[in-house]
């Protein structure tokens, strides 16, 4: 007998409306839909958006508006701005959201592990002491312990104070 792990919240991902083209460009170009797309912040260079299928509660991304898969071709001004937002985002996650630590990362290219390889993006993943439980260790699955929308609203509430 096989064990079954139910994840009904992923139904939207599987059966939902598929975005044509680059999902990050879609978010960049549709500011009017920021709430529905879970955008936390945007300015002329970048936007910050919750990762809809996060590693841990509060996982968000910093994404340049410029569509590129090459970090080496990103204008320095945009890269420096992303770095500034990352510093502020870490402070937000630690001080405002209570994270004990934060993983920051970019997976460049499909071979580098990028799920959306055509548009670079930086992940900020909040971490807590002992946040890896047995299911991650023995079943290669993660348990998301809180409501996504509640986390989105809490972090969005913190953005004006930290960003």
Q: Where in the chain are the domains? A: 8-162
Q: How far is it, in rounded angstroms, from Cα 60 to Cα 40?
A: 9
Please tell me what DSSP assigns to residue 47.
E
Please, which residues have CB within 8 angstroms of residue 64's CB and are 6 or more apart in sequence? Answer: 45, 46, 74, 78, 82, 120
CA distance 50 to 4: 28
- CATH code reported for the domain at 8-162: 3.30.428.10
pTM over 0.85: no
- pLDDT 10s per residue in the chain (163 long)? 455 555 555 555 545 566 789 999 999 999 999 999 999 999 999 999 999 888 889 999 999 999 999 999 999 999 999 999 999 999 999 999 999 999 999 999 999 999 999 999 999 999 998 776 555 544 556 666 688 899 999 999 999 999 9
Active-site annotation, residues:
121
Ramachandran assignment for 130, one of left (phi > 0), alpha (psi -120 to 50 degrees), beta (any other): left
> What does the block give as tokens for 2?
């096989």
């Amino acid at each position: 007998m096989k064990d079954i792990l139910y994840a009904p919240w992923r139904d939207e991902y599987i059966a939902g409306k598929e975005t044509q083209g680059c999902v990050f460009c879609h978010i960049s170009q549709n500011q009017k839909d920021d709430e529905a797309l879970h955008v936390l912040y945007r300015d002329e260079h970048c936007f910050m958006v919750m990762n809809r299928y996060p590693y841990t509660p509060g996982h968000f991304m910093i994404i340049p508006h410029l569509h590129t898969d090459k970090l080496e071709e990103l204008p320095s001004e945009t890269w420096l701005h992303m770095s500034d937002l990352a510093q502020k985002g870490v402070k937000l996650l630690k001080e405002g959201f209570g994270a004990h630590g934060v993983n920051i990362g970019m997976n460049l290219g499909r071979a580098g592990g990028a799920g959306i390889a055509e548009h670079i993006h930086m992940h900020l993943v909040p971490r807590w002491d002992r946040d890896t439980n047995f299911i991650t260790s023995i079943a290669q699955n993660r348990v998301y312990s809180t409501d996504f929308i509640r986390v989105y609203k809490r972090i969005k509430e913190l953005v004006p104070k930290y960003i």
